[in-house]
């Protein structure tokens, strides 16, 4: 990789990490507002709706965001037509899900996804949130594939800032109904999607192709893996709901949400990794870059985990309310697994970039066995802490398996190359920050000069 490429990549990374720090603060504020307004049971209702909508978006989406991102990264795609099709797909997925839940919600094999005994109300709420989530995933994939990382970051801040503001207003006026907060989530996401369509689709028409078939065939090997990975992330909240009730879900999801804020930076840096590998192919230089990104993410995750452990231990009840005292222990149990899993995010992006998607699917399937077995064993016996222990075991197993696969593909790299931070990593971060700040200071007129 050239020096200019490294500087550009480091600058994009610094920009994305900075925006995700702000996004995490907005998410934190939203979580506090929702928890204080709704309490554990109401927050459990909110989280089950969001969880079900995300699950259905994963099923109906057929992993297409991955194919969109990969093919757009290769170039030659008509971005405007792609975005139009993406919105239509999201609308169709929302309508289909509402229909299935509306007429099938009374059946037990569907009812486990619903938060209460009113399947029709829940069906509409889940469908609306699903539409917004599906459109956001597809449009973000297109924007990031095109390299519009600043527009993506701005849209993320717009979505999360809008939701935080709406939740604060609802709390101030005394709103206690979860549907009001879910409507705010869907509305803020929709506004961010419209902004991103305008920003990423700006400029002259590309005149490129719309390779939907190629996107589908790239995504297909990832489809099962995405579903399995989602179940690894979220199956526990449905099991907690069915064994312990909505109040326990609200208590547990505060811990999960706090712990998983650690993944905000690795997730966005994983997008950079995938785009770099898709553009430049598999080489020692590219894998050296991937190793550096992973070392940075792992070190950052450890630092954030320490902060969260301290804040969680002494501040959860003060921040979220006394009803969330039960979130402290699950948070502490989750943190080790969440830190380890940041490496899985980076290395999975690398494997997907070299079109070894099957490996990530098999890893996810193995982890799901742990997730299902340990949750069924521990949750009925020790409650919410059992779900947290299960997640940490599953995340840790995923990281070990993914790291072994990458080592097998690149035996010339040692474990220390992937895991132990170096002084050069700090220098790269500083260089990226300087580049990002410098570009922000460049006047628009100067930036337009050849």
**pLDDT per residue of the chain (450 residues) written in tens, 0 to 9:** 444 444 455 555 666 667 777 887 888 889 899 999 999 999 999 999 998 998 899 888 888 888 888 888 877 888 888 889 999 999 999 999 999 888 887 777 777 778 876 778 889 999 999 999 999 999 999 998 888 888 888 898 999 999 999 999 999 999 999 999 999 999 999 999 999 999 877 655 455 788 888 888 888 877 877 788 788 878 888 889 889 988 999 999 999 988 988 887 888 788 778 878 877 777 788 888 888 888 988 988 999 999 999 989 998 988 898 889 999 999 999 999 999 999 999 999 888 888 787 788 888 888 889 999 999 999 999 999 999 999 999 999 999 999 999 999 888 888 888 888 877 766 665 554 444 444 434 333 333 332
pTM score, two decimals?
A: 0.76
H or E element that contains 139 = helix 119-145
Q: Give residue 173's pLDDT.
A: 94
Rounded to an integer, what is the distance from CA 394 to the centroid of its chain?
Answer: 17
Tell me what pLDDT residue 443 has: 39
CB-CB contact of 23 with 262 (8 Å): no
Cβ atoms of 423 and 368 closer than 8 Å: no
For residue 449, the surrounding DSSP H or E stretch is: none
C-alpha torsion sign, points 318, 324, 326, 329: negative
pLDDT of residue 19: 75
């Amino acid at each position: 990789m050239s020096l200019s490429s490294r500087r550009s990549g480091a600058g994009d990374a610094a920009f994305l990490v900075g925006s995700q720090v702000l996004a995490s603060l907005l998410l934190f504020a939203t979580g506090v507002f929702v928890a204080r307004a709704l309490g554990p049971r109401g927050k459990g209702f909110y989280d089950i709706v969001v969880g079900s909508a995300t699950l259905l978006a994963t099923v109906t989406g057929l992993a297409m965001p991955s194919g969109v991102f990969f093919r757009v990264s290769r170039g030659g795609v008509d971005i405007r037509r792609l975005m139009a099709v993406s919105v239509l797909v999201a609308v169709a997925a929302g309508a289909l899900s509402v229909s299935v839940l509306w007429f099938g919600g009374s059946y037990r094999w569907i009812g486990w996804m619903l938060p209460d005994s009113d399947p029709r109300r829940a069906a509409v709420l889940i469908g609306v949130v699903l539409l917004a989530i599906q459109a956001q995933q597809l449009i973000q994939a297109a924007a990031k594939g095109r390299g519009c990382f600043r527009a993506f970051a701005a849209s993320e801040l717009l979505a999360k800032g809008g939701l935080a503001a709406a939740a604060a207003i609802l709390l101030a006026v005394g709103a206690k109904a979860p549907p009001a907060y879910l409507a705010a989530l869907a509305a803020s996401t929709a506004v961010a999607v419209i902004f991103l369509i305008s920003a990423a689709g700006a400029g002259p028409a590309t005149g490129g192709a719309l390779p939907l078939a190629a996107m589908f065939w790239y995504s297909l090997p990832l489809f099962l893996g995405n579903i399995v990975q989602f179940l690894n992330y979220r199956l526990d909240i449905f099991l907690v709901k069915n064994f312990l009730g909505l109040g326990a879900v609200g208590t547990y999801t505060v811990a999960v949400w706090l712990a998983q804020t650690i993944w905000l930076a690795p997730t966005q840096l994983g997008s950079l990794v995938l785009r770099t590998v898709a553009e430049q192919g598999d080489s020692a230089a590219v894998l050296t870059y991937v190793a550096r990104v992973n070392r940075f993410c792992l070190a950052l995750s450890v630092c954030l985990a320490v902060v969260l452990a301290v804040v969680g231990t002494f501040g959860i009840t003060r921040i979220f309310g006394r009803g969330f005292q039960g979130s402290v222990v699950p948070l502490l149990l989750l943190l080790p697994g969440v830190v380890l899993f940041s490496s899985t995010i980076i290395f999975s992006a690398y494997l997907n970039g070299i079109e070894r998607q099957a490996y990530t699917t098999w890893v996810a399937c193995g982890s799901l066995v742990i997730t299902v077995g340990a949750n069924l064993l521990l949750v009925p016996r020790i409650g919410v802490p059992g779900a947290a222990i299960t997640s940490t075991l599953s995340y840790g197993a995923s990281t070990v398996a993914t790291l072994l696969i990458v080592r097998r593909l690149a035996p010339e790299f040692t474990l220390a190359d992937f895991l132990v931070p170096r002084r050069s990593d700090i220098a790269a971060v500083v260089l990226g920050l300087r580049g990002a700040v410098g570009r922000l200071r460049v006047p628009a007129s100067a930036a337009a000069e050849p």
